[in-house]
Structure formats: C-alpha cells, structure tokens
C-alpha cells in the first residue's frame, strides 16, 4: 500500500470506533433499559479511550508525515491534502492536553452530571456550586494546555467552532442585540396572537406520520436513517449510510415533535449528503471530540437544522401548502383555526425562561447570556457564587423576565456539568449562518418561495448538498461560507430575514 493508503486505513479504524461509540450513545438515549446505565457508561468510556489512544499513538504522526511527503505538490484543496491537514491540526491540539487532566475531567464530569440532576430536582444551587467551581478550574487548565493569545475561551472554541474567538463573538452579539431588541420591545407592546389551539389533542401516531412524511419530502432518506424517540431530541450518524434522528412527543402540544423533527432532519441531511468517497475518512471524523461526524463545526451543523426548522418550516409559503393537510390530519384541534392564525401562533414572540422553548427572536439572548457567563467564569470576572444573580439581571435586561428559581436559571442546562464549554455560541452562529446560506441559495433559485409553496424541496437540498453537505470537513466553516455565499460570516442576512418576517407579524406603528 502507499503511504496515504496506510494513513487512510488507520484513520478508518478510528472512525469505526467513533461510530461504534455513537451507536452506544444512540441506544443509551433510546432503547437501553434503566438497569444498563452503569455498564453502558463503562462501555462508552472504554471505546472512547481506545479511539483516543490510537489517535494519540506516535504511529499516527509517523503515518501523517509519510503521507505528507507522498502528497507534496498536490492541490492545497485536494481531499488528501485537506485530510492530512485536519488530522495533523487535531493531533497537535490533543497532544498538548496532559493525560492526567483528561482523566481528571472524565471523573469529575461523571460525578457532576449526577449532582446536577439532584441539584436541579431540588432547586439547590449551593449543592451544584462547588462542582461547577471545580469544572471551571479544569476547563481553565484545558485552555492553558491548548494555548491562546487573547482569552481562554478561544482555546475551548477550537473543538466546536474553530474560526471563532471571544472577540469575534462579542462583536457578533452586539450586532444582534441592536437588531433584535427593538423587535422584542415591539412585540411586547402588542397583543399576543392566540395559540391555545397548539395545546389541544394531537394523537402521537398522527403527529409522527405527518412529520415523517414532511421530512422525507425535505430529502431525509429513510433507507439510510430512521426516527426514534428520546427525552431530548438529537441526530447521530454512523457514516452517511446510517444517520438517525429522534424527537419527543406531547399529545397536547404539536410544536414539540413537529419542529423537532424538522430540526433534526436538517442535521440528518447534512450527514447523509457527505460525498461517498470521504466515508470513514479524516474528513468525516471529529478527532477532538472523538465522534464520527461529517459536519465541519457545530455552528455549521446547527445552520442546517435551523434552516429547515425555521426558515423553511416556519415560513408562510411552507404552510400554505401543508396547513390544509395538517388541518385534515387533526380536524378536531384545527377546524376553527385559519392558516393566518396558525402561522402567527407558531411564530409568536414571547420572552420565556427556557432556552429550548424560546421563539426565533428571543432565542439568541438565551445563548448570549450563557456565553457571557462562560467567558466571565473562565477569565475570573464572575465568581460561581454570584452566577444566579448575574443570570437574573441579564434575563431582566435582555428579555424583561426574572427567573422564578434556579431551575429556570443557572441549573437549566446540563452543558456545564458535561464540560461543554464553548458549545453554546454555536446555536446562534448557526442561526446567522442559516440566513446567509438561504440568501445565497435564493440568488441561484429565484423562485424558491414558490417551490417551497409547492413542497418542491429538491432544488434547495441540491444547492445545500453541492455547497455544504458533500464536502464534509474538507473546508473550514469560514472557507465554506465564502465559497457558498461569496463573503465571510455576517449578521446582515440574518437580521434582514428576522426584521422582514417579524415586521409583517408585529408591524411598526
């Protein structure tokens, strides 16, 4: 075999281990009996450690160096050159992190997740606080080991959004605040559209049938995927040929499963759309997180779920086509509800305490708050003991809402107990990216609205596949954005989309 083939074979085995781990995690969230929790934890830990040991083995660098010599002179954009660059970069980052620190993190993460569950159930922040303090110290050590120039957050962002920094995030957030706060204030000063009918009787099997048909029409391939049920919806892949999504159902609230499946199908189509030639390669492997995944960053992945859930799935053209079918599926719940009433209800702007239930306009403020907390804890300007009050003040400032308890506040998310510092901004980055991609797609597909109104999604999905999905991790998020849209990431398209949409729903006086 050639040097590159040796490298490719070794990476494929690591990818297999990552995908096996994904499969264990899928089953853990969907079918595993409660009694299997402890042993499943051991299994996931073992496979993760084996994959990481293979990746950090000196043999990996020898294979990279030999393959680099063989590929000298190839185009800088060739998949082989890019695969080697991606792998070397990840190897150099992981090699800086002491194994003792990795062990300390894993042990504390397992304990802290259990404490978080108890603290949240009891609404007891004091129980949680010392564990959060220790996790923050561990993450500071990670940042120091990886290295950074301006802010420790920059080091932690590398795993999730490699082109982003704390400084860039602050600029992006300021732009969003200026554009979004007036819409929230306008909506707060107007009568809220009725939404009582969203909480009527919606039989679960009919919900699943309707939503499944829609996401297959989007282009989610059920021959290479399936739909499961989980407490918290997610997508997970085991190569492009097996990409699974989940949702959760509430027989008295249709939005949860409906938009949950729209969202997860966007993630799923991204993974299914990777070019077959990069299957089991470095271009479909997240070496920093040890996952088999084609998406190049968390933000870019989120852009695809948000695009299909919100820009398509909450649009008026979409519901002009699908509302008669939805009404026919649930006649008792929707017989007295017009298309306009339904459209306004699913786009209702209303500040609320819970991030995952927030509307399009207020959602980003939930993310900004969490990112500001993470940055401040890492640079020492916010003490853990002061977090609940900081949270309360920010929620009042941004959304005019004061949390009733810590379950609505600093105990709301599991992310910090899981050690996922740096992941939160990807949700807002994804929102911003989704609009910029959609703006570019419209330029090449001028009649896109009429196609959506006809439930003809192939041109849009084809554009996304050509410009994003097929490349996997070949290009950085910045490169993909410039190649697809002609310009770097900007809030312009997103603010234009939001302002135009919600001017119609909440007009200026």
SS3 169: helix
Helices 360-379 and 492-505, packing angle to 10 deg: 140
Residues 222 and 339 in one domain: yes
Span 254-259, average pLDDT:
95
Residue 279, pLDDT score: 97
Q: Per mean pLDDT, which range of 96-100, 144-148, 295-299 is the poorest?
A: 96-100
Q: Do 142 and 191 share a structural domain?
A: no
pLDDT of residue 303: 98
Q: How many CA atoms lie within 13 A of 107 on its CB side?
A: 8
Residues 91 and 221 in one domain: no
Q: Note whether 139 and 178 are same-domain residues.
A: no
pLDDT band for position 292 (50/70/90)? confident
86 vs 283: CA distance, rounded Å? 8
**Residue 157 domain-assigned (yes or no):** no
Distance of CA 59 to the CA centre of its chain: 33
Whether the CA torsion 154, 234, 440, 178 is positive or negative: it is negative
Positive or negative: CA dihedral 225, 227, 231, 235: positive
Do 439 and 485 touch, CB atoms closer than 8 A?
Answer: yes
pLDDT at 103: 83
176 & 64 share domain? no
What is the C-alpha to C-alpha distance for residues 21 and 43, in angstroms, rounded to an integer? 8
Residue 98 sits in the same domain as residue 179 = no
| pLDDT grade for 106, boundaries at 50, 70 and 90 | confident
145 and 174, same domain (yes or no)? no
Residue 391 lies in a domain: yes
| 8 Å CB contact between 363 and 351 | no
pLDDT over 80 (residue 506):
yes
Number of Cβ within 10 Å of residue 5's Cβ equals 11
Q: How would residue 163 be classed by pLDDT, with cut points 50, 70 and 90?
A: very high
Helix (H, G, I), strand (E, B) or coil at 307: helix
**Residue 263 neighbours by CB distance under 10 Å:** 25
The residues, ordered by sequence, that sit 6+ positions from 286 with a Cβ below 8 Å of its Cβ are 18, 292, 293, 473
Sheet of 227-229, strands arranged across:
227-229, 243-247, 235-237
Distance CA(358)–CA(36), nearest Å, equals 34
State the CATH number of the domain containing residue 417: 1.10.1370.30
Query: Is the model's pLDDT at 171 over the cut of 80?
Result: yes
Q: What is the pLDDT of residues 458-505, one digit of tens each?
A: 999 999 999 999 999 999 999 999 999 999 999 999 999 999 999 999
- 118 catalytic? Reply is no
Strands 227-229 and 243-247: parallel
Is 175 inside a domain boundary?
yes
Q: Collapsing DSSP states into helix, strand and coil, what is residue 19?
A: helix
Last residue of a domain, one of 125, 152, 179: 152
Q: What is the mean pLDDT of the chain?
A: 95
- Distance between CA atoms of 223 and 239, rounded to whole angstroms? 13
Dist. CA 463–CA 466, nearest whole Å: 5
- 158 inside domain: no
For 270-348, strand residue ranges (E) read 285-286, 291-292
Same domain, 177 and 102: no
The model's pLDDT over 32-90, given as tens digits with 9 standing for 90+, comes to 887 887 788 788 888 888 998 999 999 999 999 999 999 999 999 999 999 999 999 99
* Residue 215 confidence (pLDDT): 98
Shared domain for 324 and 180, answered yes or no, is: yes
- CA 181 to chain CA mean position, Å: 24
99-103, 145-149, 435-439: which has the minimum mean pLDDT? 99-103
Q: Is residue 128 part of a domain?
A: yes
| Torsion, Cα of 49, 421, 231, 104 (10° steps) | 40
Q: What distance lies between CA 79 and its chain's CA centroid? A: 25
92 shares its domain with 178: no
Question: By C-alpha distance, which of 224, 218, 219 is closest to 276?
Answer: 224
d(CA 293, CA 237): 7
* Helix (H) or strand (E) segment spanning residue 272: helix 255-272
Helices 3-30 and 79-95: crossing angle in degrees, nearest 10, is 70
- How many domains does the chain divide into? 2
* Whole-prediction pTM: 0.95
Q: Please check whether residue 47 lies inside any domain of the structure.
A: yes
Q: Give pLDDT, residue 25.
A: 85
Note the pLDDT of residue 325. Answer: 98
Higher pLDDT, 291 or 311: 311
The answer on 356 and 226 residing in a single domain is yes
In contact, 243 and 228? CB cutoff 8 Å: no
pLDDT category at 274 given cuts 50, 70, 90 is very high
CB 294 within 8 Å of CB 278: yes
pLDDT one-digit tens code per residue, 345-398: 999 999 999 998 899 999 999 999 999 999 999 999 999 999 999 999 999 999
Would you say 210 and 204 are in contact if contact means Cβ atoms under 8 Å apart? no
Active-site entry in 161, 264, 271, 360: 264
In DSSP terms, 229 is beta-bridged to 247
What's the angle, vertex CA 302, arms to CA 468 and CA 94, rounded to 5?
A: 85
Quick one: 124 and 240 in the same domain?
Answer: no
Stretch 289-300: mean pLDDT: 91
- Other beta carbons within 10 angstroms of residue 400's beta carbon come to 11
pLDDT of amino acid 160: 95
Segment 23-32 shows an average pLDDT of 86
Q: Is 29 among the domain residues?
A: yes
Q: Please give the residue range of the domain that contains residue 114.
A: 3-152
Whether 233 is in a domain gets the answer: yes
The pLDDT confidence band at residue 109, using thresholds 50, 70 and 90, is confident
């Amino acid at each position: 075999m050639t040097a590159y083939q040796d490298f490719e074979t070794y990476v494929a085995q690591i990818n297999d281990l990552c995908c096996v781990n994904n499969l264990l995690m899928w089953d853990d969230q969907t079918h595993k009996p409660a009694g299997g929790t402890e042993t499943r934890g051991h299994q996931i830990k073992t496979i993760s450690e084996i994959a990481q040991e293979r990746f950090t083995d000196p043999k990996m660098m020898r294979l990279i160096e030999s393959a680099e010599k063989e590929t000298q002179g190839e185009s800088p954009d060739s998949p082989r050159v890019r695969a080697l660059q991606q792998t070397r970069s990840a190897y150099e980052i992981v090699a800086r992190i002491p194994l003792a620190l990795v062990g300390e993190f894993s042990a504390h993460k397992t304990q802290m997740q259990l404490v978080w569950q108890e603290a949240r159930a009891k609404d007891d922040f004091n129980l949680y606080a010392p564990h959060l303090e220790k996790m923050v110290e561990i993450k500071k050590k990670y940042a120091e080991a990886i290295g950074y120039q301006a802010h420790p957050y920059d080091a932690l962002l590398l795993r999730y959004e490699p082109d982003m920094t704390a400084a860039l995030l602050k600029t992006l957030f300021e732009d969003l605040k200026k554009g979004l706060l007036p819409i929230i204030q306008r909506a707060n000063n107007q009568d809220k559209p009725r939404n009582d009918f969203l909480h009527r009787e919606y039989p679960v099997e009919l919900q699943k049938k309707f939503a499944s048909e829609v996401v297959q029409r989007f282009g989610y391939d059920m021959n290479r995927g399936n739909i499961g049920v989980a407490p918290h919806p997610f997508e997970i892949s085991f190569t492009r040929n097996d990409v699974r999504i989940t949702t959760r159902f509430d027989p008295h609230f249709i939005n949860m499963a409906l938009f949950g499946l729209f969202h997860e199908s966007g993630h799923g189509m991204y993974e299914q759309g990777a070019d077959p030639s990069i299957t089991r390669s470095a271009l479909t492997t997240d070496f920093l997180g040890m996952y088999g995944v084609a998406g190049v960053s968390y933000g870019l992945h989120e852009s695809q779920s948000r695009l299909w859930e919100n820009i398509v799935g909450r649009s008026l053209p979409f519901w002009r086509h699908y509302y008669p079918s939805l009404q026919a599926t649930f006649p008792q719940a929707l017989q007295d509800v017009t298309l306009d009433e339904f459209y306004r209800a699913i786009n209702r702007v209303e500040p609320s305490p819970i991030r995952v239930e927030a509307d399009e306009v207020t959602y980003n403020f939930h993310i900004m708050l969490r990112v500001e907390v993470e940055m401040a804890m890492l640079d020492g300007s916010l003490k853990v003991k002061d977090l609940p009050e900081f949270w309360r003040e920010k929620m009042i400032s941004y959304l005019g809402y004061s949390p009733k308890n810590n379950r609505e506040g600093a105990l709301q998310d599991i992310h910090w107990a899981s050690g996922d510092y740096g992941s939160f901004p990807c949700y807002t980055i994804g929102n911003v990216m989704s609009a910029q991609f959609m703006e570019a797609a419209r330029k090449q597909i001028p009649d896109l609205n009429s196609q959506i109104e006809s439930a003809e999604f192939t041109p849009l999905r084809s554009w996304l596949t050509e410009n994003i999905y097929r490349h996997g991790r070949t290009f950085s998020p910045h490169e993909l954005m410039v190649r697809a849209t002609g310009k770097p990431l900007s809030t312009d398209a997103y603010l234009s989309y939001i302002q135009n949409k919600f001017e119609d729903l909440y007009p200026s006086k």
